């Protein structure tokens, strides 16, 4: 009884598998026939060029092209966050007189501005006091270092002396670091100096002139870039940006964080001829890298919802389906499934040819 039940189950499983296999085979045949019908509809038989006798038949040569222009976009001349070298006020400033125009190129050590205020003298006094205290602490430290070696002082006393010395040293080094940005003349007039060679950038007029606030920034000219916000799809295709024939922008980086449908691209000038100014808005053409060809616009025609060109092959015209990518001046840019560089393509009487294909006769 049990054996009969197992045979019955096996028979059912086999029948189900056969039906399932037949269904898959039927679907595959239908798909194959459908694809063949589409391919057949898109395949046009060559015709002799003599069929166009009586018509003007001119040909043009196709040319391979690697790039195509996209729609112009606007960019902002700027720099990436954090690349600016910032000089801060070491004390509250009542008045500052900048000696350069905003955006000027300055050299390292150049006097950028003169500053005035009651806290200026206080800072200088504090600096001198810290310097004197360090000298005293250093002398006390050196003397007692010998005493410790000779076991004249206790270890606990040496710890206190050491702490006092390093505290004085740390206090002076902090003030001395700020003094590196200052120049004091014989009359104790204080000026701010540039720590680097680069482009000078001032804070806004409304900015505070308090201790720790920004006095100015220095930018490396090589850090100046153009910030573009483009669609994610364009960001994946763009190869470089063209501002003019003399100015191209090479892509430096693409932000991997998007803002909904857009992302940020940073590009830098490829030559000094770009002459960019921080804060400037510029219009640039994104140039996309492609694998395609160019030909006169009159060469393309449509037949059964597919674009074609008529390629000369000896004494015949072969019809090649193409995918239109864009245009450049008087040419179309297209791609194809076969190599077409330097091929002769019909560019006149194309409408007459199209009419023949549509069985409308000659025009």
- Kindly report, residue by residue over 144-164, the tens digit of the pLDDT: 999 988 888 888 899 999 999
> What domains, with CATH codes, occur in the chain?
41-66+290-357 (2.40.420.20), 73-80+222-289 (2.40.30.170), 87-219 (1.10.287.470)
pLDDT tens sequence across 160-201? 999 999 999 999 999 999 999 999 988 888 999 999 999 999
Of 66, 68, 69, 70, which is closest to residue 291 (Cα–Cα)?
66
Q: CA 172, 178, 184 angle in degrees (round to 5)?
A: 100
pLDDT at 10 over 70: no
Distance CA 283, CA 277 (A): 14
Q: Under the phi-then-psi rule, with left for phi > 0, alpha for psi from -120 to 50, and beta for the rest, what region is 361?
A: left
Distance CA 15, CA 312 (A): 57
Q: Let me know: does 126 contact 168? Beta carbons within 8 Å.
A: no
DSSP code per residue over 134-182: HHHHHHHHHHHHHHHHTT-S-HHHHHHHHHHHHHHHHHHHHHHHHHTTE
Distance CA 307, CA 91 (A): 73
**Average pLDDT estimate for 320-349:** 93
**Average pLDDT estimate for 281-310:** 94
Q: How confident is the model at residue 41 (pLDDT cuts 50, 70, 90)?
A: very low
End-to-end Cα distance, the chain: 84
Pairing of strands 262-269, 225-231: antiparallel
Distance CA 293, CA 306 (A): 17
- The torsion angles phi and psi of 144, rounded to 5 degrees, stand at -75, -20
Q: How confident is the model at residue 114 (pLDDT cuts 50, 70, 90)?
A: very high
**pLDDT value of residue 35:** 45
Q: What share of the chain is helix, strand, coil (3-state, %, to 5)?
A: 35, 35, 30
Distance CA 132, CA 112 (A): 29
**pLDDT value of residue 37:** 42
pLDDT at 36 over 60: no
pTM beyond 0.75, yes or no: no
Percentage of the chain lying above the pLDDT 90 cut: 65
Of 306, 321, 319, which is closest to residue 346 (Cα–Cα)?
319
pLDDT tens sequence across 222-275? 999 999 999 999 999 899 999 998 999 999 999 999 999 999 999 999 887 898
pLDDT at 4 over 60: no
pLDDT at 76 over 70: yes
Q: How confident is the model at residue 204 (pLDDT cuts 50, 70, 90)?
A: confident
pLDDT at 363 over 80: no
pLDDT at 26 over 60: no
């Amino acid at each position: 009884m049990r054996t009969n039940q197992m045979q019955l189950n096996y028979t059912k499983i086999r029948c189900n598998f056969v039906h399932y296999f037949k269904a898959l085979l039927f679907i595959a045949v239908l798909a194959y026939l459908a694809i063949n019908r589409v391919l057949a509809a898109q395949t046009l038989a060559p015709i002799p060029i003599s069929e166009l006798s009586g018509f003007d038949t001119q040909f043009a040569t196709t040319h391979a092209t690697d790039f195509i222009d996209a729609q112009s976009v606007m960019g902002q001349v700027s720099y990436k966050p954090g690349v600016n070298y910032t000089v801060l006020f070491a004390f509250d400033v009542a008045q500052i007189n900048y000696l350069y125009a905003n955006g000027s190129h300055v050299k390292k050590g150049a006097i950028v501005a003169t500053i005035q205020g009651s806290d200026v003298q206080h800072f200088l006094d504090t600096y001198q006091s810290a310097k004197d205290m360090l000298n005293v602490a250093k002398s006390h430290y050196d003397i007692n270092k010998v005493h410790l070696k000779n076991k004249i002082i206790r270890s606990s006393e040496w710890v206190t002396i050491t702490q006092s010395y390093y505290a004085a040293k740390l206090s002076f080094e902090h003030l001395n670091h700020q003094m590196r940005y200052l120049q004091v003349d014989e009359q104790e007039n204080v000026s701010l100096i540039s720590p680097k060679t680069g482009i000078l950038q001032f804070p806004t007029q409304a900015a505070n002139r308090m201790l720790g606030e920004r006095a100015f920034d220095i930018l490396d000219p090589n850090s100046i870039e153009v910030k573009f916000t483009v669609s994610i799809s364009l960001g994946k295709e763009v190869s470089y940006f063209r501002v003019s024939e003399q100015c191209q922008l090479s892509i430096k980086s693409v932000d991997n964080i998007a803002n909904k449908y857009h992302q940020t691209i940073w590009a830098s000038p490829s030559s000094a001829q770009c002459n960019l100014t921080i804060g400037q808005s510029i219009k640039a053409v994104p140039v996309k890298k492609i694998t395609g060809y160019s030909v006169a616009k009159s060469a393309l025609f449509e037949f059964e919802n597919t674009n074609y060109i008529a390629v000369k092959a000896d004494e015949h015209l072969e019809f090649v389906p193409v995918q239109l990518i864009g245009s450049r001046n008087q040419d179309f840019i297209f791609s194809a499934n076969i190599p077409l560089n330097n091929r002769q393509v019909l560019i006149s009487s194309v409408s007459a040819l199209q009419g023949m294909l549509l069985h409308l006769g000659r025009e």
